[in-house]
Amino acid sequence: MREVSVFSIKRIGTRSVRWTIVIVFIACLFLTASVVESRESAGVLRAGTAKIDITPKKSVKMAGYRSRKGLSTGVHDPLSARVVAFANNGKRLVLVSTDLIGFSSGTAEHFRKIILDEFELEPGELFLSAIHTHAGPSLTIDKKEGHPHNLEYTKSLEAKLIEVIRKSLNNMSPVHTGAGIGYSPVGVNRRELRFDSVGNSEIKLGRNPYGPTDKEVLVMKLAKPDGVVVAALFDYATHATCLGGKNYIISGDVPGLAEQFVEKILGQDVIAPAFAGASGNIDPWFRVLPAINTEPGWIPEPVLLGTMLGEEVVHVFRDIGEVSGGGEIRTAFVTLELPGKPRNQVTMEKDCPPTSLNITAARVGDIAFVSIGAEVLTEIGMSIKAASPYKHTFVITHCNGSAGYLPPEHLYIQGGYEIKSSPFAPQAADIVVKQATEMLYGL
């Protein structure tokens, strides 16, 4: 048996102590580095983007005009769903833009529940929006009344939205953001004053060049730290009704074509989600056309206006020089019970049930977003932007709900289509502006 001297034991013990000290020192270095890295990553804004085709594969019932009874007969340009997801310090924000008219007849609640549950999002962390094209498919979950092709399309859309949101959340990386403002004449007030043969006046849907119109084109730039462009988000207030009820060809109309133009110019790896601003009383300059004009030498009006809007987006995007790498994320969500009125009726009724409305607010750094689940008239959106404490505020309509037209109080005296079809009493708009403003300040 080998003998071990006391000296050897001491030497071994000393060596062990030295190695222990070294190991502890190295561990402390790694721990310190990990803490520093964790603190740094907590202040770094990350984003992921994704896009998926949602063009109907079969003929479908189209949305937007009750007079249109048949199924679609073709496709002029593809429809897409585009997603930009942000994350910072455990907080997320998912912005979804779809080339659809909106999420009505219970589909907003249906889709939101599926998405919120799947990704464990808070209600305020999801903006599920549509560009409001009237040349797209109608969504339905009504198995009794819905057309089989539309039921099938709506079901397939569930899987596609889950897929595209998951992709955006899974491919996140640090980004820098910036914003800029431009202007476009594409949209025009549609509340036209007309007189009959004996001098009676009435507000009709038409063209009112002198009416209030929000001309702002708000653009948000996303780029990687090395300058590689990721996305160009834009917000503009116009209906997507260049094509009317006699058109049976699928199209994203003006905003959808603008998205496609921006992506073509900035590069196929860039996505350009559009968001519909407050445009309940704003139509494209050329409106409700019976078809896409294929006359030789003619530029179809939706293409012309979509290109004009897209070019302004690109001009603004390229002028955005200052970008920021940080950006705290804050969100808020509320459902209001607003004073109601019967639809398709101008006069109020006593004890009319209230109308529910979802409002969502969020900010990414110093850029703010407000979504209203209704078809909001332009004066309301302009009021919210004017009252916002942020320099750049995206007002997004047809988002997280579809309650109907929300007009400002002063227009109820004039009447007209938007007033008659609205489910809101005159005082509802002021409540919404106040609530949205308070939510922005609360962020």
Would you say residue 31 lies in a domain? no
Domain range for 418 is 46-442
Beta strand spans in 196-340 (E): 201-208, 216-223, 229-236, 249-250, 274-276, 282-284, 329-338
What pLDDT is stored for residue 18 in this prediction? 53
Would you say residue 8 lies in a domain? no
Q: DSSP letters of 298-354?
A: ---HHHHHHHHHHHHHHHHHHH----BS---EEEEEEEEEE-B--TT-SS--TTPPP
What pLDDT is stored for residue 165 in this prediction? 98
Q: Which two three-digit tokens encode residue 41? A: 């990553």
> Contact, 45 vs 175, CB < 8 A?
yes
Q: In what order do the strands lie in the sheet with 216-223?
A: 176-183, 216-223, 229-236, 274-276
Look up residue 396 and give its DSSP letter.
E
What pLDDT is stored for residue 24 in this prediction? 41
Would you say residue 376 lies in a domain? yes
What pLDDT is stored for residue 11 in this prediction? 45
What pLDDT is stored for residue 5 in this prediction? 45
Backbone angle region of 309, left / alpha / beta, with phi > 0 → left and psi within -120 to 50 → alpha: alpha
Would you say residue 18 lies in a domain? no
Would you say residue 379 lies in a domain? yes
Closest CA to 240 of 104, 396, 134: 134
Instruction: Point out which residues pair with 130 in neighbouring strands.
Output: 98
Longest CA pairwise span in the chain (Å): 126
Closest CA to 279 of 317, 241, 232: 241
Residue ranges in the chain modelled with pLDDT below 70:
1-42
Would you say residue 170 lies in a domain? yes
Q: What is the pLDDT of residues 203-247, one digit of tens each?
A: 999 999 999 999 999 999 999 999 999 999 999 999 999 999 999
Closest CA to 306 of 284, 328, 322: 284
Half-sphere exposure of residue 223: CA atoms within 13 angstroms, side-chain side: 17
Phi–psi pair at 158, nearest 5 degrees: -55, -50
Closest CA to 395 of 436, 426, 424: 436
Phi–psi pair at 70, nearest 5 degrees: -80, -175
Would you say residue 11 lies in a domain? no
Q: Which two three-digit tokens encode residue 382? A: 């302009």
Domain count, the chain: 1
pTM of the model: 0.90
